[in-house]
């Protein structure tokens, strides 16, 4: 099987020859540790190198080009340092947020997921109706900069691709939080719910237009949403509020997904998502990740509860990867019923943190490769 076939067969509860090997990877701070512990700096595909160090002989798939769609605002805000302090700096990022970050970080860390960045929020870009009107003008789905210039030719070249083509979009909760800030959004649900509905509907129709334009050229294998709307024990808003405010948006996009026969409609959210999964199933979403164990997500229990209505990615406890040895052995063994049952690609339940040593990452990759058929 090629990479695309194997991926779809796995998440759709089919019969793959092997389960995709996706141990995860480290961000900047993790990689810096690994370089000191034996990872060559010139290695770009770290999971593949770890697999080889673990004894792997098979050629791992390398993927290929995609057909991108940009949802980001145009124009973006000016990125700038507003104030430098003794141990921190106040900056404005490309989204218009003003926040305080450590001096060890740059504005690039806020643009891309280079490392885990702790920040203190000072001001978010939408505080008034006037701010909202200014923000809306930055999201025009017809802007040609949002799509490849050679869309028709690129789509034709991807018609026989052997790797999955995935389109990623921010979910409505994620996007409204980007505009209003977390506290601002939560208060607005109570203080002005009609404005929340207005913003959700705007984002709903904006992304729908992006989807429809892209689908004029090519059909992806997956539409992937990011929400990050749960804490360690519960969702950030109740399932009832999720159904009231967000479900219509998920369903609108889900209708497009089904009409165009896109096989995978997936959701990314940190935290404990057990009470949100039924809402997402209702919306037609059929894959979730990263399934953080520390937040109480139990894939064995979820499989019993949700059956084949939901597939999963991730779900391997990062804390036990860090402990290594018998701890990670026990974790993989715990997950074997779900691995054998299909509809699951095991991997680290978030970005691999810097407390995971390089030897432990290699050993974890070895165990994962054995469990998924690569060793």
Q: Strand 119-123 vs strand 98-102: parallel, antiparallel, or unpaired?
A: antiparallel
pLDDT of residue 284: 98
Query: How far is 338 from 332, CA to CA, in rounded Å?
Result: 10
Taking the alpha carbons of 241, 228, 166, 289 in that order, is the dihedral positive or negative? Answer: negative
Residue 311: its H or E element: strand 311-316
pLDDT of residue 56: 98
Q: Is the pLDDT of residue 294 over 90?
A: yes
pLDDT of residue 264: 98
pLDDT of residue 168: 98
Q: What is the mean pLDDT of residues 311-335?
A: 98
pTM higher than the cut 0.85: yes
Q: What is the mean pLDDT of residues 20-48?
A: 95
Domain ranges of the chain: 3-72+126-372, 78-124
Alpha helices in the chain (DSSP H): 3-11, 28-36, 46-53, 107-111, 129-136, 151-157, 172-180, 182-191, 193-215, 239-241, 247-259, 277-283, 299-306, 318-323, 325-341, 358-372
Burial class from Cβ neighbours inside 10 Å (0-12, 13-18, 19+) for residue 41 reads exposed
Q: What is the mean pLDDT of residues 288-293?
A: 98
Question: Of 322, 253, 304, nearest to 33 (Cα)?
Answer: 322
Please report which confidence band the pLDDT of residue 13 belongs to, taking 50, 70 and 90 as the band edges.
very high
Q: What is the mean pLDDT of residues 347-364?
A: 97
pLDDT of residue 107: 94
The residue whose two tokens read 């507003």 is: 82
How does the average pLDDT of the chain come out, rounded? 97
Q: In this predicted model, what pLDDT tens digit does every residue of 60-90 receive, in sequence order?
A: 998 999 999 999 999 999 999 999 999 999 9
Q: Is the pLDDT of residue 308 over 90?
A: yes
Fold of 3-72+126-372: TIM Barrel (3.20.20)
Query: How far is 11 from 344, CA to CA, in rounded Å?
Result: 6
Q: Is the pLDDT of residue 113 over 90?
A: no
Q: What is the mean pLDDT of residues 290-318?
A: 98
Q: Is the pLDDT of residue 53 over 90?
A: yes
Q: In this predicted model, what pLDDT tens digit does every residue of 227-240 receive, in sequence order?
A: 999 999 999 999 99
Q: In this predicted model, what pLDDT tens digit does every residue of 148-183 receive, in sequence order?
A: 999 999 999 999 999 999 999 999 999 999 999 999
pLDDT of residue 25: 87
Residue 225: its H or E element: strand 222-226
């Amino acid at each position: 099987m090629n990479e695309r076939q194997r991926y779809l067969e796995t998440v759709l509860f089919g019969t793959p020859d092997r389960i995709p090997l996706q141990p995860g990877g480290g961000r900047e701070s993790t990689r810096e540790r690994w370089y000191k512990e034996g990872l060559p700096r010139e290695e770009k595909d770290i999971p593949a190198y770890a697999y080889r160090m673990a004894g792997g002989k098979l050629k791992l798939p390398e993927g290929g080009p995609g057909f991108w769609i940009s949802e980001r605002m145009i124009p973006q805000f000016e990125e700038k340092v507003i104030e430098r302090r003794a141990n921190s700096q106040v900056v404005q990022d490309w989204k218009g947020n003003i926040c305080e970050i450590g001096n060890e970080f740059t504005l690039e860390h806020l643009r891309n997921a280079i490392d885990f960045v702790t920040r203190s929020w000072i001001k978010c870009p939408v505080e008034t109706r006037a701010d909202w009107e200014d923000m809306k003008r930055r999201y025009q789905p017809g802007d040609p900069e949002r799509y490849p210039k050679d869309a028709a030719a690129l789509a034709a070249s991807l018609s026989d691709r052997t790797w999955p083509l995935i389109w990623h979009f921010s979910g409505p909760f994620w996007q409204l939080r980007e505009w209003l800030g977390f506290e601002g959004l939560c208060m607005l649900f109570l203080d002005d719910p009609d404005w929340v509905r207005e913003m959700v509907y705007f984002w709903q129709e904006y992304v729908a237009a992006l989807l429809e334009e892209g689908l004029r050229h090519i059909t992806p294998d997956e539409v992937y949403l990011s929400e990050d709307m749960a804490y360690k024990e519960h969702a950030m808003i109740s399932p009832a509020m999720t159904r009231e405010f967000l479900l219509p948006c998920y369903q609108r996009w889900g209708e497009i997904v089904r009409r165009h026969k896109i096989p995978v409609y997936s959701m990314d959210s940190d935290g404990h998502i057990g009470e949100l999964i039924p809402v997402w199933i209702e919306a037609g979403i059929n894959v979730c990740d990263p399934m953080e164990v520390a937040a109480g997500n139990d894939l064995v229990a979820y499989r019993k509860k949700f059956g084949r209505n939901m597939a999963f990615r991730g779900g391997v406890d990062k804390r036990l990867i860090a402990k290594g040895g018998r701890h990670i052995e026990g974790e993989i063994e715990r997950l074997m019923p779900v691995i054998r049952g299909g509809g699951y690609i095991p991997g680290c339940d978030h970005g691999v943190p810097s407390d995971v040593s390089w030897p432990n990452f290699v050993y974890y990759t070895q165990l994962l490769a054995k469990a998924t058929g690569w060793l």
